[in-house]
Structure 1
Amino acid sequence: MTKYNAIILEDLNMKGMSQTLNFGKCVADNGWGIFTTMLQYKAMFLGKQVKKIEK
């Protein structure tokens, strides 16, 4: 993470993915939400940027 200045995340359709892959919606949303929160915290700590883009 120290090599790059920015991390780009695609705004995923978690509801559609959970129905297609037979995952529970709340489990998938919660896991992705926690991941992005932790990623943003770590990036801010290192002085990096996290950007979300459309599909």
Structure 2
Amino acid sequence: MAYVINDSCISCGACEPECPVDCISAGDDMYVIEAESCIDCGACANVCPVDAISPE
């Protein structure tokens, strides 16, 4: 089950460098996680200051 970023994302970028498989990138309005590449480690969710990342 991949992690997802919800509308609470403030585009701070804290999650992107934490991803060990580089599946997080800046989208138009917020960061997005490429579900096919996500390894469900949760590293991104642990650093999100607004709790915008959770398991799908």
Q: TM-score, normalised by structure 1?
A: 0.28
Q: Which has the higher contact order (CA 8 A, sep 6+)?
A: 1
Higher helix share: 1
Q: TM-score, normalised by structure 2?
A: 0.28
Larger radius of gyration: 1
